[in-house]
C-alpha cells in the first residue's frame, strides 16, 4: 500500500518486554479495537488483525523497539502484514501537543497509530517487511557485529583515557617515549613487565599498580575481541553484494562504513528518491523561512549511524590531496564559492549520500534483472 486511503486501518503497537498493547484506528482516527498480547500469543494477535479487514488495508505502526519487538516483526513479516516504523520524536510531539497528556499503554499505542495518519510521509516501511529473507539476514548479521563493536570501542576509549592518567601518575611524563602509540600490544606487554606488585612496598603505589594491571588486561581482551569481530564482519561483508558495491564504487567507504549503511538501510527500495534517503540520513538541510527571510539549517534528526558513516567517507575524501579525487575537487570548489569549511563538508556529504543511493539502487536493479 502506497498511502493512507479511506479503507485503511492503522494499528499502533506499544511494545514492552513481556507484554504489548495494540490499538486500531480507522482513517479518521476513530477507535476500532484494541488487543493486549505477549510473544507467546502472536498467532492470536495475527488472528485479531484479520478481524479488522483485508491485510492489504492494514498498516501496523511500530516505534524503535530496541529489540523487544523483534518477535512481532518476524511474525508479521512472515505473514506479509505491512509495517511502518514511526520515529520516536513524532510520538513525543503527539504527546506534547495533546490537551490530555496521560501516559498509558493504550494511549501510547494510539499515538503511534496517529503519527501514520498525520505524518505518513515522514515514516518509512519497516525494513523487515520490505526486504527479502536474504537481505534481512545480511542486515541483522551485520547489525549484531556492529552493535557489539561500537560498545567495545566505546569501552576501549574509556579504558585508554583512564590509563593515560594512571600511567602518568605512576611513571611520569615520559611513559610514552619508547612507543609511537601508548597502547600497542608491545607497549601493553612492556607496562605489565615493568609493574610487578611483589616489588612494591608502598600501599598507595601497590593499589595504583594493581588497578593499572587490571585495566591493561581488560584492554588486551577488548582489542582481541574487536579483532575477532572485524574478521567475522569482513567475512560477512564479502558475501554481501551491496557492501562490495559500496566499497568498490565509493572512495573512502571502508568495510565498517559500508556495513553500517547496509545494516541500517537493509533494502534500498525503502526509499523512492535520493532526496528521501538524504533526509533519512539527516543530510538534507532544514528550511526555515518567514517572509523574505529564508535560512537553511543542519538537520539534527535522521539516522545518526548512517550520518556518521557518510561523514567518515566525506572526511576521507577531503584528506586525499589528489587532482583526480572528485570529492576533494568538489570540496575545494565549494570553498572557492565562499562557503565555510563546515558548510562545504555538508555539501560533500550530500553528494556522498546521492552516490550511495545510486550505487545501491543500481546494484539492486542489476541483481533483480538476473
Per-residue pLDDT tens over the stretch 20-63: 999 999 999 999 999 999 999 999 999 999 999 898 899 999 98
Reported as type and span, the H/E element at residue 277 is helix 274-280
Check pLDDT > 90 for residue 134: no
Structure confidence at residue 258 (pLDDT): 95
Q: How confident is the model at residue 66 (pLDDT cuts 50, 70, 90)?
A: low
Reported as type and span, the H/E element at residue 205 is helix 203-238
Mean pLDDT estimate for the chain: 89
Does domain 9-130 fall under CATH 3.30.420.40? My reply is yes
Structure confidence at residue 2 (pLDDT): 54
Q: How confident is the model at residue 64 (pLDDT cuts 50, 70, 90)?
A: low
- Decide if 307 contacts 282 (C-beta within 8 A): yes
Residues in contact with 62: Cβ distance below 8 Å, sequence separation at least 6, in sequence order: 13, 15, 69, 72, 73, 83, 84, 85, 86, 112, 126
Structure confidence at residue 3 (pLDDT): 76
Domain ranges within the chain, ordered by starting residue: 9-130, 135-238, 260-369
- Decide if 353 contacts 312 (C-beta within 8 A): no
Structure confidence at residue 350 (pLDDT): 95
Check pLDDT > 50 for residue 1: no
- 14 DSSP β-pair partners: 21
Per-residue pLDDT tens over the stretch 213-222: 999 999 999 9
Cα distance between the two ends of the chain: 26
Q: Kindly report which listed range (9-18, 93-102, 108-117, 347-356) carries the lowest average pLDDT score.
A: 93-102
Average pLDDT over residues 82-98: 81
Of 62, 54, 9, nearest in space to 33 by CA: 9
- Decide if 354 contacts 274 (C-beta within 8 A): yes
Q: Kindly report which listed range (33-37, 117-121, 225-229) carries the lowest average pLDDT score.
A: 117-121
Residue scoring higher pLDDT (147 or 89):
147
Reported as type and span, the H/E element at residue 356 is helix 341-369
Structure confidence at residue 18 (pLDDT): 87
Average pLDDT over residues 116-129: 83
- Decide if 247 contacts 316 (C-beta within 8 A): no
Distance of CA 162 to the CA centre of its chain: 28
Per-residue pLDDT tens over the stretch 236-269: 988 899 999 999 999 999 999 999 999 999 889 8
Amino acid at each position: 500500500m502506497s498511502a493512507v486511503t479511506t479503507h485503511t486501518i492503522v494499528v499502533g503497537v506499544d511494545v514492552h518486554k513481556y507484554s504489548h498493547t495494540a490499538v486500531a484506528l480507522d482513517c479518521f482516527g476513530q477507535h476500532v479495537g484494541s488487543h493486549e498480547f505477549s510473544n507467546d500469543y502472536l498467532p492470536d494477535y495475527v488472528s485479531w488483525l484479520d478481524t479488522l479487514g483485508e491485510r492489504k488495508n492494514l498498516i501496523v505502526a511500530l516505534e524503535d523497539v530496541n529489540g523487544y519487538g523483534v518477535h512481532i516483526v518476524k511474525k508479521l513479516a512472515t505473514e506479509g502484514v505491512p509495517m511502518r516504523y514511526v520515529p520516536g520524536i513524532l510520538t513525543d510531539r503527539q504527546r506534547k501537543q495533546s490537551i490530555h497528556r496521560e501516559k498509558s499503554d493504550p494511549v501510547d499505542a494510539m499515538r503511534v497509530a496517529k503519527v501514520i495518519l498525520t505524518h505518513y510521509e515522514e515514516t518509512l516501511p519497516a525494513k523487515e517487511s520490505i526486504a527479502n529473507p536474504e537481505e534481512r539476514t545480511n542486515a541483522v548479521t551485520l547489525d549484531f557485529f556492529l552493535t557489539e563493536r561500537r560498545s567495545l570501542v566505546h569501552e576501549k576509549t574509556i579504558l585508554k583515557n583512564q590509563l593515560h592518567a594512571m600511567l602518568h601518575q605512576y611513571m611520569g611524563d615520559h611513559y610514552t617515549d619508547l612507543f609511537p602509540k601508548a597502547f600497542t600490544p608491545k607497549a601493553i606487554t612492556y607496562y605489565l613487565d615493568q609493574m610487578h606488585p611483589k616489588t612494591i612496598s608502598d600501599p598507595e603505589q601497590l593499589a595504583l599498580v594493581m588497578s593499572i594491571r587490571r585495566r591493561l588486561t581488560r584492554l588486551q581482551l577488548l582489542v582481541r575481541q574487536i579483532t575477532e569481530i572485524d574478521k567475522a564482519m569482513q567475512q560477512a561483508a564479502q558475501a554481501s553484494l551491496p557492501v562490495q558495491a559500496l566499497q568498490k564504487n565509493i572512495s573512502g567507504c571502508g568495510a565498517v562504513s559500508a556495513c553500517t549503511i547496509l545494516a541500517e538501510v537493509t533494502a534500498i527500495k525503502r526509499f523512492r528518491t535520493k532526496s528521501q534517503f538524504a533526509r533519512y540520513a539527516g543530510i538534507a538541510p532544514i528550511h526555515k523561512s518567514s517572509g523574505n527571510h529564508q535560512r537553511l539549517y543542519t538537520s539534527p534528526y535522521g539516522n545518526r549511524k548512517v550520518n556518521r558513516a557518510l561523514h567518515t567517507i566525506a572526511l576521507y575524501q577531503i584528506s586525499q590531496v589528489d587532482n583526480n579525487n572528485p570529492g576533494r575537487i568538489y570540496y575545494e570548489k565549494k570553498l572557492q564559492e565562499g562557503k565555510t569549511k563546515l558548510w562545504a563538508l555538508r555539501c560533500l556529504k550530500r553528494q556522498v549520500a546521492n552516490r550511495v543511493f545510486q550505487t545501491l539502487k543500481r546494484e539492486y536493479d542489476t541483481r533483480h534483472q538476473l
